Structure 1
Amino acid sequence: MLTALRSLAFMLIFYSGSLFFVLAAMLAGGLGPDVVPRIATGWSRFHRGCARWLLGQKVVVQGDLPHGPYLYIVKHESMFETIDMLCLFDRPAIGAKRELLDIPLWGLIARRYGLIPIERSAGASALRTLRAAAKAATAQDRAICLFPEGTRVPHGESPPLKSGFAGLYSLLGLPVVPIAVDSGRVSPRGRFMKRAGTITYKVGNVVPTGLDRREAEAIVHAAINALNRPQP
């Protein structure tokens, strides 16, 4: 019963509060390039606060999270980490499915913020577009964060990375920081009920540039699945 009440409170408070941030971002669109990112960061902090104080979900980061010209590859188990990236990094450039950027209002703000649109069906042209966007983000000293599984994955599962990762690793020439996360244990995909507990980010060893693409992919795949374990 407590879990249900907490989940209901989170839904009501977070989503109603998010409307405020959406409206603020819409009104602030012409006030300068830094305003919308600041509002988005505030929204991310609001989300983490709601998760902490309404759901009882704490966040722990294991390992040192390096900051610099890296490509951050993150496990994707729930909505939590997609929003929480703005708490981990300063205005990260996050890859998102292009159709998400077509959502009314939200999509407009996402574009103003500077999300990187990913159109997986476009093949090589999508890689070129992604490379150009990533290069621009790197020039602005922004972290580049991608979820290479392409969709939220139930905790404990480890599907192969999408084929675009290997190509992007070669094209960008950036070292990779793989990050495992186990948010799906407490916030399972597609479920209303969200449990109290600890969400852990486990930072893997930096994968240097110049490795064979298959070797780099194997290392990253193992690292982002380092927290996989059966759900309680």
Structure 2
Amino acid sequence: MLQWVRSIIYIVQATIAMPVIGLVFAPWAMFSKTGAYTACKTYAAWCMWSARWLIGLRCEVRGDVPQGEVLIGAKHQSFLDIMMIFHALPRAKFIMKREILWTPVIGQYTKRMQMIAVDRGKRGKAISKMMEDVNAGRIEPGQIVIYPQGTRVAPGAHIPYKVGTAVLYGQLKQSCIPVATNAGYFWPRRGLYRRSGLAVVEFLPPIEPGLEKAAFMAELESRVETASNRLLAEAGWQADA
């Protein structure tokens, strides 16, 4: 019962903090991408710091965090892993659903940071447009983050990896950094309860450019799923019999 109360207090204060931080940084963010990134990194840092003290949830980033232009293929279980990845990377650019652009506060900041919004019903066209923007220099270089399964996936759930990651990998001709996590065990995709413990995001060794589409997808899925399952087991999660 106490953890339920702590979870609700945590969610309330994090919800309030978002517009407050957004408004405080708004004058800087309107004229500077750096201001927008600083605001969002501040919010992510606040959420992770307050999680430790309010719900007993610590956050840890493992592995070599990429600094240059790379493609990130990440496991997505929770809003928490978004914040951890964003806070760790210098200039993360998430491929996200277009509806987020219309979300108060978040939408305005994602536009300013040139996040890549896609229409789920027209993903192929959206990826082509994104590549055009990258090649034309309309999108500032950074670390492009894509979720190969296309959505949040609860621990133990099995959703196929989508081919869009392989398309980007082939077109960008950059290394792809697989990323594993166990965040969904502590911060589920639905519900208010937050567990205490150690949430981990782990940057794995890069997949170098040049693999064929099928080989790349198999390698990415194997690395991400194996490492994520290891992290979940480390956290104490057990698959249903």
Matches within 5 A, 1:11-50: 11-50=11-50
Structure 2 unaligned segments of length 5 or more: list them.
none
SS at structure 1 position matched to 2:154 = coil
The letter of the residue matching 1:121 is: G
The letter of the residue matching 1:204 is: L
Q: Is the 8 A contact 1:93 1:142 kept in 2?
A: yes
Q: Is the helix fraction higher in 1 or 2?
A: 2
Distance 2:137 2:177 in 1: 16
Where does residue 51 of structure 2 map in the other structure? 51
How many residues were matched structurally? 232
SS at structure 1 position matched to 2:30 = coil
Distance 1:21 1:136 in 2: 33
**TM-superposed deviation, 1:88:** 0.9
**TM-score normalized by the length of structure 1:** 0.90
SS at structure 1 position matched to 2:72 = strand
Matches within 5 A, 1:1-232: 1-135=1-135, 140-225=140-225, 226-228=227-229, 229=232, 231-232=237-238
Q: Is the 8 A contact 1:41 1:91 kept in 2?
A: no
Structure 1 range deviating more: 133-142 or 169-178? 133-142
Task: Go from structure 1 to structure 2 and tell me whether the alpha carbon gap of 1:95 and 1:25 turns closer, same or farther (over 3 Å shift).
Answer: farther
Distance 2:6 2:137 in 1: 38
**TM-superposed deviation, 1:139:** 7.5
Distance 1:136 1:16 in 2: 39
The letter of the residue matching 2:87 is: C
Structure 1 runs of 4+ aligned residues shifted over 4 Å read 133-141
Structure 1 unaligned segments of length 5 or more: list them.
none
Distance 1:136 1:192 in 2: 43
Q: Is the 8 A contact 1:52 1:58 kept in 2?
A: yes
Q: Is the 8 A contact 2:186 2:194 kept in 1?
A: yes
**TM-score normalized by the length of structure 2:** 0.87
Distance 2:223 2:92 in 1: 21
